[in-house]
Amino acid sequence: MQEPTFLILTALAAEPMHGYGVIRTVDELSGGDVVLRPGTLYGALDRLTEQGLVEVDREEAVDGRLRRYHRLTDAGAAALAAQVERLRRHADAAATRLSRPRGRTAFAVVSLGVIR
Amino acid sequence: MTASPARLERRYRRLLLAYPGPYRRRHGAEIVTTLLDLAEPGRGRPAAAQALHLVACGLRQRFRLPAGRPLALVAAVLAAVAVGALGAAAGNRLGWRTATPVPSADVLRALAADAAGGSRSDVAAYPWETAMNGPVLDTRVTVASAYSAERVRNALAAAGWRTTTLRETTGGIVVDITEDPYVTVPTRSVRFEATKDGLSLTGDSTTVAADARRGVEGRTDQLLGVSADESAAVRPLTVAGLLLGAVAGWLVAAAFAYRLRRGGRSRRRVAAALVAAAFAAAAVPVFVLYGDLQQVLAYDSGAPGPYIVDGPGGRLPAGLAPACAVAGLLALAAALVIARRGARDDTGATGPAPAASG
């Protein structure tokens, strides 16, 4: 799952949102790192709808303009939860390995010995 | 100049034309709303980078295939291959239009008659095409008198040709194989080549000496042909046609796959079966077209004269490839009608497309 897709699903996880809402929420969630452009957003939404992960929640007309709200489906929530689990495993593994003192693996000792 | 939201909206709508029609009808309105939400107040035109990105996303959407449909991918690849073959053939024809046209049969008959010292009405003309589809016009005439190299040279010069080769040789032809050794009568030949802006001419005149004892009458057979030189555009346009055709085939298949996805299950099945039949029928003409393409790209323009190659298409029964092409097109047309109806039935619904199944 690509980062924009992950963030779009994350944005929709809390409540149904329209396009502009998703863009703003993703901006906040990523601390300004990911700025979704409309072309990217609607390309991803179309694909996610096709895959049954997202569906249309409702439509509203504001000042004669169409606002369409999208929401996560159950399958979408499950896919997001699986991805969260995966990312957590990776993050934990990375944190564990980082907390280990560096330069003291068996391999490093042997190579140091050879060089000296 | 004051910026009006209406004008900005119009500009955004124009940019959305990059997207495929059905996609635009489904998502266009909400995309414009979001774009206007994002626009800085007072802005009259979309930012260049944003406009470019939107158009790029729209074009990309045209190439996309429905998710989770491996058959759509197979169909798109086959369509690219098949329409690419058509595109290559069309590009090749277009390329040859940039070459100098060969003279008309009447003009060449006159030249052949002048060179041979005969009458135009006795000259037969045969048009044909080389292995790379270049036009050639051959003539053949038989006269009673012996050839004259001088007359050939003068006739060519008078018609504006520059003679590059004119070589005379002697030989013989066998007239009786019942005796040992075979009986031959002597012949004299002249072989000539000439050029005229973008055209090449080759000819051969052979005179058989009269031999009353053997019953051989003196005569001269003259073959004279003109071919168009390959112009610089022929091969590039052929390849460009192949690539453009492949892209067009893919785009049509992608649009078709999306249409079909919105139809009912039984309609999808019938349409898919028709498309499969169309591809099966198209296999024969497409095979022939790729044989032709291979010959175009492998053609040796430096060969002594224009030539044809016995291709795979020639070994098929005559009329099979055109018949298959017609059958394929009919199946495809039927599939398109069915897909179109399916899409039309569905346009009333504003909700999400039914989740892909099966």
Q: What is the tens place of the pLDDT at every residue in B286-319?
A: 999 999 999 999 999 888 889 988 876 777 888 8
Contacts of B67 in chain A (CB under 8 A): 47, 50-51
Q: For B18-86, give the secondary structure using H, E and C.
A: HCCHHHHHHHHHHHHHHHHHHCCCCCCCCCHHHHHHHHHHHHHHHHCCCCCCHHHHHHHHHHHHHHHHH
Q: Chain A: nearest CA to B328, how far in angstroms?
A: 31
Chain A residues 5-24 with a CB less than 8 Å from chain B:
18-20, 23
- A65–B61: do the CB atoms touch at under 8 Å? no
> What are the chain A neighbours of B350 within 8 Å (beta carbons)?
59
Contact B352 A55 (CB under 8 A): yes
Q: How close, in Å, is residue B16 to chain A by CA atoms?
A: 10
User: Any residues with CB less than 8 A from the CB of B329 and at least 6 apart, and which?
Assistant: B278
> From CA B94, how far away is CA A57, in angstroms rounded?
53
Which chain B residues are within 8 Å of A47, Cβ to Cβ? 67
Best of A57, A68, A72 to disrupt the B interface by mutation (most B CBs within 10 Å)? A68
Structure tokens at A32: 């300004």
Q: What is the per-residue burial (b if ≥16 Cβ within 10 Å, else e) of A65-98?
A: bbbbbbbbbeebeebbeeeeeeeeeeeeeeeeee
Taking CB atoms and an 8 Å limit, are B32 and A49 in contact across chains? no
Cross-strand partners of B169: B189
ipTM computed for the complex: 0.79
Across the interface, of A23, A38, A43, the residue whose CB is closest to B61 is A43
Query: What's residue A26's pLDDT?
Result: 93
Find the residue in A nearest to B23 (Cα): A46
Which domains does chain A carry?
3-88 (1.10.10.10)
Q: How many residues does chain A have?
A: 116
Q: Which of B314, B309, B291, B290 is nearest to B130 (CA)?
A: B309
B181: preceding bond cis by omega (within 30 degrees): yes
pLDDT, residue B183, reads: 84
Q: DSSP assignment, residue A51?
A: T
B71–chain A nearest CA distance, Å = 16
pLDDT at B3: 53
Q: Do A50 and B351 lie within an 8 Å CB cutoff? A: no
Query: How many C-beta atoms lie closer than 10 Å to residue B5's C-beta?
Result: 15
Residue of A nearest to B49 (CA): A37
Chain A contacts of B30, Cβ < 8 Å? 18-19, 42, 66-68
Burial of B163 (0-12, 13-18, 19+ CB in 10 A): middle
What's residue A69's pLDDT?
Answer: 93
Question: Cβ neighbours of residue A114 under 8 Å, at least 6 residues apart?
Answer: none
Q: Are B60 and A43 an interchain contact pair (Cβ–Cβ within 8 Å)? A: yes
Q: Going residue by residue through chain A (116 aa), what tens digit of pLDDT does each one get?
A: 788 899 999 999 999 999 999 999 999 998 888 889 999 999 999 999 988 999 999 988 877 888 899 999 999 999 999 999 999 999 999 999 988 876 655 555 555 555 44
Alpha helix stretches (DSSP H) within A54-105: 74-99
pLDDT of residue B353: 41
Closest residue on chain A to B15 (Cα): A39
What was the pLDDT predicted at B352? 41
Interface test with B, best of A25, A35, A37 (most B CBs within 10 A): A37
Quote the pLDDT of residue A111: 52
Chain A, residues 38-77, CB within 8 A of chain B, namely 38-43, 45-47, 49-52, 55-56, 59, 62, 65-68
Q: Cα separation of B276 and B332, whole Å?
A: 9
Cβ atoms of B253 and B20 within 8 Å: the answer is no
CB-based contact B31 A19, cutoff 8 Å: yes
Name the DSSP letter for residue B163.
E
Q: B54 contacts in A (CB within 8 Å)?
A: 37-39
Task: Walk along chain B (358 residues) in steps of 10 and give the mean pLDDT of each run.
Answer: 71 92 89 86 76 92 88 93 95 96 95 94 94 95 93 95 94 84 89 94 92 84 95 95 97 88 80 90 91 92 86 78 90 85 54 40
Set of chain B residues whose Cβ sits within 8 Å of the Cβ of A49 = 352-353
Predicted confidence at residue B276, as pLDDT, reads 92
